[in-house]
Amino acid sequence: MATNYETHEYDVLVIGAGGAGLRAAIEASAAGVKVGLICKSLLGKAHTVMAEGGMAAAMGNVDDRDSWKVHFADTMRGGQYVNNWRMAELHAKEAPARVHELEAWGAVFDRTKEGKISQRNFGGHRYPRLAHVGDRTGLELIRTLQDHGIHQGITVFMEYTIVSLLKDGDRVVGAFGYDRERGRFRVFKAKAVVVCTGGLGRAYKVTSNSWEGTGDGVSLAYHAGAELLDMEFIQFHPTGMIWPPSVMGILVTESVRGEGGVLRNKDGKRFMYDDIPENYKSQTSTDPEEGWRYTQNDKNAKRPPELLTRDHVARCINREVKAGRGSPHGGVFLDISWIKEKIPNSAEHIKRKLPSMYHQFMQLANLDITKEPMEIGPTTHYAMGGIRVNAETQATNVPGLFAAGECAAGLHGANRLGGNSLSDLIVFGKRAGEYAAKLAKETSAVTVSDAEIESAYKEAVAPFERAAAGTTEGPYQVQYDLQNMMQKNVGIVRLQNEMEEALAGIGKLKARAAKVAVQGHCEYNPGWHTAIDLKHLLTVSEAITLCAMDRKESRGGHFREDFPNKDPEAQKYNSVISKAADGSMKLRREPNPAIREDLKQVIEEMK
Amino acid sequence: MNKTVTFRIWRGDATGGKFVDYTTEITEGLVVLDVVHKIQAQQANDLAVRWNCKAGKCGSCSAEVNGMPKLMCMTRMDTLDITKPITIEPMRAFPRIRDLATDVSWNFRVKTKIKKFNPRPPDAPDGTWRMMQEDVDRVQEFRKCIECFLCQDVCHVLRDHHKHEEFIGPRFLVYTAALEMHPLDTEDRLPELKQAQGIGFCNITKCCTKVCPEHITITDNAIIPLKERVVDEFYDPFGWLWKKIRPKG
């Protein structure tokens, strides 16, 4: 009975305390409503801390030719025009104000010579655009929001996991979850719920995501009736660590290339010059000397091909490895140490510009990046797809439910530009908080159903009962099998028959997941947490696979060996996933919204 | 080549516990956290351990490895002597929850008591400020902190003398220093530093600086300058006189 559970009531409940969740919570509380904030980890540890390069905002501090229009056009080009154009417009227009607001809350960005916020080059951005703090911008963002947020009267629930969203009819009215420390279940009643749970990289074996990136929010929203959008578009970041094995997947920031780092195969060749896509030819240098000048902020130079979009760079690396031109551990070489030919005291320069990369390689790989090249390879990094939201309000199709950040979809289209994620978090986190608060103010008290809570409870504790009944398979093996299969069959290069195999495999894994058993009790039990995450991982894996099978072309993060080219017809639709009445997952194609005429012109002008 | 290693891990909760030995094979290039995870997956599914980023950026996996406060994700196995059992135990300065997880919520409560950032009015008509890089270098060093709380763990004022109610610890002295030395900040936090936050308890043994995984020079760059400011404010008779008689405005 629900009366057994401690119940908390909020106007707005935010699930997830990374950049988007914190920003949403701050905005909602500033609007004068009562806000609860759920973190899966301790406050300030969310995956946002891993973002390194910076946040994109067309402030024009380093190059005054930049403007929201250029940023908009870059974002659409990077996303290969399946982006939600309205989100791309709002993002480009509002990002500068959101960055300045962080400074007003205490963030300390790197400076230009005039004392303004400095901006750096990044893949796919025409001008230096990323506000940054060395290579730890994500930490600066989350800490600034955290330190501002703790004085706003927000109630923070650290180390809580939500297992289900609660509904009253069509409407989301709260959430049910437990604290990870003690395993005590809690009911959260809320007039509006904002899901900001981040990524789903843990569906893959090699990923830059932490254990938290299990697609919880996407899955919770889906099971509550929300539509998912463009799930086939997964970003494989070109540069993850590959050696030693224990660090496989950990991100090596794009800033290494932004600061002049180059990619080479085992023959020492800069292979990125071999394949420059048509739509980037006019912006890309064919001369290494010019490429170097670009990284040193020469306004007249064009970017080196290492700074092409992530999807393209990742595929080029994949090609080199497959052709037998890879590094000893199955990747390629990323070299920043070569800049000693260009600048005196380069070791100090590298340490100052890329301190955490220097630290990371020294500590984890025993390798000095100022002296030797790194070995890197693609890693599952980011989900462009996710919960479908309204561009203005971040509302989903389910009343009372909002989403923002990586778990939401639309802004990035088929491929996200580096630096557009942190700005996404603050632009749309704010909007989600604002509109959730507005809805909460217009809503009278909500009621939750005891029966629904009871069934969510039973599902959550079932693994213990199965253990008591003698079942032996634990959750870890199912998780490993899923990760291996997704990596192999629905990864960076995709084929119809392999994906069909994966879809059948997901069906079998679902059956196994429904039977896993966990020993012990609810108190801080990682085995149990993994068992609960399995449902989410399987839900998002199924959605990714269905969408990827249906899109018979290659675009952005979605590359099909059997359909290697872009299909202009396929640019006209988005993939939409929904849960059918019988509980099965349904996919439909939906024409993407017609772009406003003036924005169409902006895109044309910037081509 | 595979080698065998024994991890002596503290298992238990707030009411007590004991060390349990787990023997496992390790391969090249592992860190301590990998081995703990392997034991968790294969031998002790319910072993409680916090972790997140596994790259030294989030500060979640703090523990004591052979008695030294460390991030488990940044401690390579090849830096340890594996011919003897390796002890892994939770941080000692905080109440235990279970196994390697401790209750660090005190830290979060302490932070809310420190006055928040309060900037001067913007410098430019568009609402922005101007700051030179050399003026923010010091603050940026402090803002590298990942809140792993290893400095709190090693500080004898907290670890041995349990002055949690009277002393905020190195982490929050660094936090306060970052605010006090922020070029835009206008707040005065010195009275609290002297009184409720107990800066006087620190006798600059520099243990915190030694264990900081971000290599922040906590004692020299943050705590000592704050101590000097407190001294100047409250104990310098000439300074006190000057403040009384200086021309206003």
Residues A307-320: pLDDT tens digits? 998 889 999 999 99
Least CB–CB distance from B28: residue in A44, A45, A244: A244
Taking 50 as the threshold, does the pLDDT of residue B225 lie above it? yes
Residues A276-300: pLDDT tens digits? 998 889 999 989 999 999 999 888 9
> CB-based contact (8 Å) between A153 and chain B?
no
DSSP-assigned letters across all residues of A460-473: HHHHHHHHHTT---
Q: What is the pLDDT of residue A1?
A: 41
Q: Could you tell me the pTM of the whole model?
A: 0.94
CA separation for the pair B37, B40 (Å, rounded): 5
Residues in chain B closer than 8 A to A47 (CB atoms): 52-53
- pLDDT band for A601, please (50, 70, 90 cuts): very high
Q: Give all strands of the β-sheet with A374-383 in edge-to-edge order.
A: A234-241, A374-383, A332-335, A262-264
Q: Which residues 169-208 on chain B approach chain A with CB closer than 8 angstroms?
A: 179, 182, 185
Place of tokens 């008695």: B67
> Is the omega angle on the peptide bond into residue A355 within 30 degrees of 0, that is, cis?
no
CA separation for the pair B59, B62 (Å, rounded): 7
CA separation for the pair A538, A579 (Å, rounded): 14
Tokens of A25: 């919570």
Asked if A237 is an active-site residue, the reply is yes
Question: For residue A47, what is the DSSP state?
Answer: G
Taking 60 as the threshold, does the pLDDT of residue B187 lie above it? yes
Residues in chain B closer than 8 A to A140 (CB atoms): 143
Segment B68-97 mean pLDDT: 96
Taking 80 as the threshold, does the pLDDT of residue B131 lie above it? yes
CA separation for the pair B183, A116 (Å, rounded): 13
Residues A140-162: pLDDT tens digits? 999 999 999 999 999 999 999 99
Least CB–CB distance from A524: residue in B97, B122, B140: B97
- Between B232 and A427, the more confident residue is A427
Q: Which residues 325-364 on chain A approach chain B with CB closer than 8 angstroms?
A: 356, 359-360, 363-364
Tokens of B25: 């094979």
Q: Which residue of B has its CA nearest to A209?
A: B53
- pLDDT band for B248, please (50, 70, 90 cuts): low
SS (H, E, C) A176-219: EEEECCCCCEEEEEEEEEEECCCCCHHHCCCECCCCCCCCHHHH
Tell me whether residues B105 and A158 touch, CB distance under 8 A. Answer: yes
Q: What is the pLDDT of residue A150?
A: 97
Measured in angstroms, the CA of B221 and the nearest CA of chain A are apart by: 17
- pLDDT band for A520, please (50, 70, 90 cuts): confident
Collapsed DSSP state (helix, strand, coil) of residue A325: coil
Segment A527-538 mean pLDDT: 94
Segment B132-144 mean pLDDT: 96
> CB-based contact (8 Å) between B74 and chain A?
yes
Residues in chain A closer than 8 A to B179 (CB atoms): 106
Residues A175-226: pLDDT tens digits? 999 998 889 999 999 999 999 999 999 999 999 998 899 999 999 999 999 9
Measured in angstroms, the CA of A231 and the nearest CA of chain B are apart by: 24
- pLDDT band for A526, please (50, 70, 90 cuts): confident
Taking 90 as the threshold, does the pLDDT of residue A379 lie above it? yes
Taking 60 as the threshold, does the pLDDT of residue A93 lie above it? yes
Segment B215-233 mean pLDDT: 95
Segment A48-67 mean pLDDT: 95
Kindly report the average pLDDT of chain B as a whole number: 94
Q: What is the pLDDT of residue A523?
A: 82
CA separation for the pair A187, A370 (Å, rounded): 52
Segment B210-234 mean pLDDT: 95
DSSP-assigned letters across all residues of B203-247: ----HHHHH-TT---IIIIIIHHHHHHHHHHHT-HHHHHHHHHSP
Does residue B72 contact residue B78 with C-beta atoms inside 8 Å? no
SS (H, E, C) A365-432: HCCCCCCCCEEEEEEEEEECCEECCCCCCCECCCCCEEECHHHECCCCCCCCCCCHHHHHHHHHHHHH
Does residue B128 contact residue B134 with C-beta atoms inside 8 Å? no
Reported ipTM: 0.94
Q: Which residue of B has its CA nearest to A182?
A: B97
Taking 60 as the threshold, does the pLDDT of residue A3 lie above it? no
H helices of chain B, where?
32-42, 105-112, 133-142, 150-154, 156-159, 169-180, 190-194, 207-211, 224-234, 237-245
Of the ranges A92-106, A160-174, B33-47, which one carries the lowest mean pLDDT score? Answer: B33-47
Tell me whether residues A49 and B98 touch, CB distance under 8 A. Answer: no
Least CB–CB distance from A181: residue in B30, B97, B139: B97
Residues in chain B closer than 8 A to A521 (CB atoms): 46
Angle at A407 between CA A406 and CA A412, to 5 degrees: 50
Tokens of A44: 């300030």
> Which residues are CB-contacts of B27 (< 8 A; sequence separation ≥ 6)?
A245, B2
> Which residues are CB-contacts of A11 (< 8 A; sequence separation ≥ 6)?
A28, A33, A34, A35, A190, A191, A192, A437, A440, A441
Residues forming a β-bridge with A236:
A380
Residues forming a β-bridge with A160:
A179
**Domain annotation for chain B: domains and CATH numbers:** 3-102 (3.10.20.30), 105-240 (1.10.1060.10)
- Between B30 and B1, the more confident residue is B30
Of the ranges A492-501, A512-521, B17-26, B182-191, which one carries the lowest mean pLDDT score? Answer: A512-521
Q: Which residue of A has its CA nearest to B108?
A: A43
Asked if A257 is an active-site residue, the reply is yes
Q: Which residues 105-134 on chain A approach chain B with CB closer than 8 angstroms?
A: 105-106, 108, 110-111, 114-117, 133-134
- pLDDT band for B1, please (50, 70, 90 cuts): low
Instruction: Please state whether beta strands A401-403 and A185-195 pair in parallel, antiparallel, or not at all (unpaired).
Output: parallel
DSSP-assigned letters across all residues of A272-292: GGG---GGGGGGB-SSHHHHH
Q: Which residue of A has its CA nearest to B115?
A: A151
CA separation for the pair B121, B102 (Å, rounded): 42
Which residue out of A237, A303, A494, A551 is catalytically annotated? A237
Taking 90 as the threshold, does the pLDDT of residue B63 lie above it? yes
* Interface probe, candidates A42, A248, A522, chain B, greatest B C-beta count within 10 A: A42
> Which residues are CB-contacts of A172 (< 8 A; sequence separation ≥ 6)?
A165, A166, A193, A224, A398, A399, A400, A401
Report helix angle B169-180 to B224-234, nearest 10: 70
Q: Which residue of B has its CA nearest to A526?
A: B46
CA separation for the pair A430, A555 (Å, rounded): 30
Q: What is the pLDDT of residue A2?
A: 43
Sign of CA dihedral B65, B67, B71, B75: negative
> CB-based contact (8 Å) between A471 and chain B?
no
> CB-based contact (8 Å) between A152 and chain B?
no
* Interface probe, candidates B53, B62, B74, chain A, greatest A C-beta count within 10 A: B53
- pLDDT band for A494, please (50, 70, 90 cuts): very high
Does residue A527 contact residue A520 with C-beta atoms inside 8 Å? yes
Q: What is the pLDDT of residue A233?
A: 98
Distances (CA, A) of A370 to A166, A340, A362: 53, 8, 10
Taking 70 as the threshold, does the pLDDT of residue B249 lie above it? no
Tell me whether residues B112 and A151 touch, CB distance under 8 A. Answer: yes
The number of CA neighbours under 13 Å toward the Cβ of A547 is 31
Collapsed DSSP state (helix, strand, coil) of residue B186: coil
Phi, psi of B3 (to 5 degrees): -130, 160
Which residue out of A77, A257, A293, A558 is catalytically annotated? A257
Q: Which of A138, A147, A130 has its CA nearest to residue A48?
A: A138
Q: Which of A390, A426, A491, A537 has its CA nearest to residue A48?
A: A426
**Domain annotation for chain A: domains and CATH numbers:** 240-379 (3.90.700.10), 455-570 (1.20.58.100)
Kindly report the average pLDDT of chain A as a whole number: 95
